[in-house]
Structure 1
Amino acid sequence: MKLHEELPVDHRLSQVYRVGAGLCGVALLVFGALGLADGLPFFSTSGERIAGLSSNGLLSLVSVVTAVVLIAGAVIGGNVASTVNITVGTLFVLSGFVNLALLDSSANVLAFRIPNVLFSFVMGLVIATFGMYGRVSGKLPLDNPYWQHRHPRQAERSTAPAPAHRAGPAGLPGRPA
């Protein structure tokens, strides 16, 4: 699948992308700000608990940067917000897998623990779902702008007016005029 900026923008869908990016961005911003405010050690692999998750200074900084990217996507809106959501969501899920492999090792520079991994998976799927909503599906409705962009000939036919019919003998339907 290709995500291009020339795809049509549907304002109703843009609101979903914006709300998703904004809410997730604010949640990450709060988490990151709490960690930075506590003055957590930057490269501690053991981490300290912030909002039920293990964190260190580096994870707090990464959370704030990610939050800024999501909030910027929410401000811009449209296809940009959708693409940002899909990308950030995918990176969250990948981060969950990578950090799962690094648990209890000296390479665990983000101080992840199992709750962090689960949070990363869930948050990644939520963010990606907000980005894909109404944009990626096998059963998009015919009035969806993404379906119309991908199927221009069928979209023309579905929006063209039906041909007028002439009445046949005894008022029965006839053939098109």
Structure 2
Amino acid sequence: MAHFPVNHPARPIYRAIGGLTGLYLAGFGVLGVIENSGAEFFAQNDTQVLGQGANLGYSVISVILGVILLLAAVIGRNVDATVNKFSGYALMVLGLAELAVMRTDANYLDFSVATVIVSMTLGLVLMTAGLYGKVGTDEETHAWQEARLLL
């Protein structure tokens, strides 16, 4: 799409932001795995990790997503932009779904309000990093500049 920035001057910063988000998720997940070792995978025991509710299931999901984000940041190019964008979408959907079932027995990932807020904030950060981190050809950059000037 011509309206999304290509070769944005701050794309290395957005790539680093995606990597730092992955580092946070991986660290949170590792701490969650340590805290929940020996518990059921989808236990609803109100365990707190960094002020957020997390069980072993969500901790493993966080570790996997964090490692994927870190690998994408290392690979770079458009891989990181794509992974960041879709991971952001996934975190937003996950946050909304868990917000809908938070006070029910369907809260399998043991989310709290703080976990929903952090999940949705990280989703917004990753979507921003994904939208501004795209690398393209000179023609794509020129088309983006033209579309930007027409607005």
TM-score, normalising length: structure 1:
0.69
Q: Following TM superposition, by how much is the alpha carbon of 1:117 offset from its aligned partner in structure 2, in angstroms?
A: 0.8
The residue correspondences of 1:133-152 to structure 2 (distance < 5 A) are 133=132, 146-149=140-143
Question: How big is the alpha-carbon RMSD for the aligned residues of Structure 1 and Structure 2?
Answer: 2.6
Structure 2: unaligned runs, 5 residues or longer: none
Name the SS of the counterpart of 2:53 in structure 1: strand
Q: Following TM superposition, by how much is the alpha carbon of 1:72 offset from its aligned partner in structure 2, in angstroms?
A: 1.0
CA distance in 1, matches of 2:133, 2:81: 10
CA distance in 1, matches of 2:51, 2:140: 39
Q: Following TM superposition, by how much is the alpha carbon of 1:10 offset from its aligned partner in structure 2, in angstroms?
A: 3.8
CA distance in 1, matches of 2:143, 2:53: 44
The residue correspondences of 1:62-141 to structure 2 (distance < 5 A) are 62-133=61-132
Q: Following TM superposition, by how much is the alpha carbon of 1:45 offset from its aligned partner in structure 2, in angstroms?
A: 2.0
Total equivalences in the alignment: 140
Q: Following TM superposition, by how much is the alpha carbon of 1:118 offset from its aligned partner in structure 2, in angstroms?
A: 0.8
CA distance in 2, matches of 1:33, 1:66: 12
Name the SS of the counterpart of 2:68 in structure 1: helix
Cα distance per residue 1:81-111 (max 9 Å; x no partner):
0111110011111111101111111111100
Give the 4+ runs in structure 1 shifted more than 3 A.
9-14, 144-147
Bigger RCO (CA 8 Å, 6+ sep)? 2
Cα distance per residue 1:123-158 (max 9 Å; x no partner):
1001111111265xxxxxxxx86442568xx69xxx
Name the SS of the counterpart of 1:44 in structure 2: coil
> Structure 2 vs 1, CA of residues 123 and 105 (structure 1 numbering), >3 Å: closer, same or farther?
same
| Greater per-residue helix proportion | 2
Q: 1:10–1:145: 8 Å Cα contact kept in structure 2?
A: no
Amino acid at match of 2:88: G
Q: 1:92–1:120: 8 Å Cα contact kept in structure 2?
A: yes
CA distance in 2, matches of 1:92, 1:67: 12
Name the SS of the counterpart of 2:98 in structure 1: helix
> Structure 2 vs 1, CA of residues 37 and 13 (structure 1 numbering), >3 Å: closer, same or farther?
same
Q: 1:42–1:58: 8 Å Cα contact kept in structure 2?
A: yes
Corresponding residue of 2:24 = 27
Identity score, percent: 35
| Greater per-residue strand proportion | 1
